[in-house]
A and B are shown apart, each in its own frame.
Chain A
């Protein structure tokens, strides 16, 4: 079904200066699914993720070839405004990166800039987003305090709540649990399972168990190429390609 594929990449190549970081990536991402991107460090999985909401624009000397279609429109079309794209495709980063502002200001940062100024609406939105991120009970009494005081796991859930407050269609997650302890990691994995009912989630991880636990589809990358892409279950039980098998069984990586 054409409808279900929210993001499609077509023959995407990506360069840092002369270095080609991605080669001929063609991939579809389905709605309300969790897609995991796995592979050894430097394989290009994070680069691909950052390409999907044009975050790589911020790095000097990078170049994109090919098309990235979001709801049928190429987001690298010169007429497309990256700011609009990022509003609809949210992102959570590897290291929790709350702003040095209050918890409330962190959540309402995006919506305020997008023009929402009504205090009551903002408060409702903050509550809703924090509840979605399962952080509400822990912070509802300290919304005015600095986000820097939260623990690492709380900070990361705050960053997820902050992304959700924009009501995005897609949520990109770049190794969101790699800086966290096992308990926080479990909480966030659970959260991802809940969130996929409403959002399309694409997650980069180098933790294979995590990919196996939470994702519906998995793509395996190696040296800038998409080696294999299919249902998670298939990738982890009977991969078609030898390299994939070697990686998931821990023979290299």
Chain B
């Protein structure tokens, strides 16, 4: 075998391995649809998505996941509301404000905190936060939207903070110097020059943080309370999609309608997070290429 042929073969082999990720993505789609599509023989797609009743084990069963979708969006929304300001501001602190020694401790620390397993956060929310909420606000249960949003925020903050910090870090020093030389104060420079310049990176951080929150299972499974109904107050329980899948798959008989409905819920969840990730990818590339032209 000539050396050239060998090189070509090696290159092809690496190419095949690189395609494995695409292959897996394809397989995920295939198997989600294979196991999920059969439910649409029983309910139509609009009825499944927008149906207000999720009673999969009743007779006759009802497979409407609207309450689950609403549950997912509500906890994602409120956790984002908490996590974005805290995450971004702490990134500003680490990158622009903290004295150097503190910065060198905080940066890896935040990264380390991003590694706390979500089951641990769920456990904490269940054992510590839930009883406290219950007592303080005199509620029937502490497992509710507030609890889930807080724990999800806690989970997303390190992610948001560390990606946003990377984005702030890459803002060219020239921008800062130009701003200071024009008589801007430090906070004005941060707010009007540094943050706008890092906006695409910060947006990516926020979207990825949201994607993590909407797809997170253990936290919502353990602390959201599990009521499959449209909530009326922040202290109501909800049943986000991942929680529903995780809680019910164990009991759903193999290839029953319930089993297929859970896979179909998985499809919805998958498509939602896919959309989030594509948007994040788009945002981070779009601004990069035009040199963040218009602000």
Q: Does A95 lie within 8 Å of B192, measured CB to CB?
A: no
16 pairs, A vs B, C-beta closer than 8 Å:
A53-B181, A83-B184, A83-B185, A86-B180, A87-B182, A90-B181, A90-B182, A93-B181, A97-B175, A99-B193, A99-B197, A101-B295, A102-B295, A113-B188, A148-B292, A163-B182
Q: List B163-203 residues whose CB lies under 8 Å from chain A.
A: 172, 174-185, 188, 192-193, 196-197
Q: List A113-154 residues whose CB lies under 8 Å from chain B.
A: 113-114, 146, 148-149
A92-111 toward B: CB 8 Å interface, digit per residue (1/0)?
Answer: 01010111111001000110
Contact of A188 with B by CB under 8 A: no
Q: Does B197 lie within 8 Å of A100, measured CB to CB?
A: yes
Q: Which of B175, B181, B184 is the one whose CB lies under 8 Å from A55?
A: B181
Since A83-B183, A86-B180, A100-B291 are in contact, a sample of 17 more A-B pairs with Cβ atoms closer than 8 Å, ordered by chain A residue number, is: A55-B181, A58-B180, A60-B100, A87-B182, A95-B174, A99-B175, A99-B193, A100-B293, A100-B295, A102-B294, A110-B182, A113-B185, A113-B188, A113-B192, A148-B293, A159-B178, A162-B178
Q: Does B293 lie within 8 Å of A91, measured CB to CB?
A: no
Contact of A166 with B by CB under 8 A: yes
A185 to B179, CA, bound (A): 24
List residues of B whose CB falls within 8 A of some A CB.
Answer: 100, 172, 174-185, 188, 192-193, 196-197, 291-295
Residues of B within 8 Å of A105, CB to CB, are: 295
Q: Does A100 lie within 8 Å of B196, measured CB to CB?
A: yes
With A113-B188, A149-B293, A159-B178 already in contact, the answer to whether A87 and B183 are too (CB < 8 A) is yes
A91 to B293, CA, bound (A): 24
Q: Does A86 lie within 8 Å of B182, measured CB to CB?
A: yes
Q: Does A84 lie within 8 Å of B182, measured CB to CB?
A: no
A149 to B179, CA, bound (A): 20
Q: Does B182 lie within 8 Å of A113, measured CB to CB?
A: yes
A101 to B293, CA, bound (A): 7
A87 to B292, CA, bound (A): 27
A236 to B107, CA, bound (A): 53
With A86-B183, A99-B193, A100-B196 already in contact, the answer to whether A58 and B292 are too (CB < 8 A) is no
Nearest CB in chain B: distance from A55 CB, A:
6
Closest A residue to B287 using CB positions: A100
| Interface of chain B: mostly helix, strand, loop or mixed | helix
Nearest CB in chain A: distance from B51 CB, A:
47
A4 to B181, CA, bound (A): 24
A166 to B183, CA, bound (A): 9
Nearest CB in chain B: distance from A47 CB, A:
14
Residues of B within 8 Å of A159, CB to CB, are: 178
Contact-residue size bin, chain A (C-beta under 8 Å from the other chain): 20 to 34
Residues of B within 8 Å of A90, CB to CB, are: 181-182
Q: Does B177 lie within 8 Å of A113, measured CB to CB?
A: no
Nearest CB in chain B: distance from A116 CB, A:
12
Nearest CB in chain A: distance from B21 CB, A:
33
A113 to B182, CA, bound (A): 9
Residues of B within 8 Å of A98, CB to CB, are: 178
Residues of B within 8 Å of A86, CB to CB, are: 180-183
A53 to B184, CA, bound (A): 13
Q: Does B196 lie within 8 Å of A148, measured CB to CB?
A: no
Closest A residue to B295 using CB positions: A101
A146 to B292, CA, bound (A): 9
Residues of B within 8 Å of A110, CB to CB, are: 182-184
Residues of A within 8 Å of B100, CB to CB, are: 60
A113 to B295, CA, bound (A): 17
Residues of B within 8 Å of A162, CB to CB, are: 178, 182
A110 to B181, CA, bound (A): 9
Q: Does B175 lie within 8 Å of A109, measured CB to CB?
A: no
Residues of B within 8 Å of A91, CB to CB, are: 177, 181
A159 to B178, CA, bound (A): 9
A90 to B100, CA, bound (A): 29
Q: Does A101 lie within 8 Å of B196, measured CB to CB?
A: yes
Q: Does B177 lie within 8 Å of A84, measured CB to CB?
A: no
Nearest CB in chain B: distance from A135 CB, A:
16
Nearest CB in chain A: distance from B10 CB, A:
42
With A100-B292, A149-B293 already in contact, the answer to whether A109 and B181 are too (CB < 8 A) is no
Residues of A within 8 Å of B179, CB to CB, are: 99, 109
Residues of B within 8 Å of A60, CB to CB, are: 100
Q: Which of B174, B183, B291, B294 is the one whose CB lies under 8 Å from A113?
A: B183
A45-63 toward B: CB 8 Å interface, digit per residue (1/0)?
Answer: 0000000010100101000
Residues of B within 8 Å of A113, CB to CB, are: 182-185, 188, 192
Q: Does B182 lie within 8 Å of A97, measured CB to CB?
A: no
Residues of B within 8 Å of A109, CB to CB, are: 179, 182, 184, 192
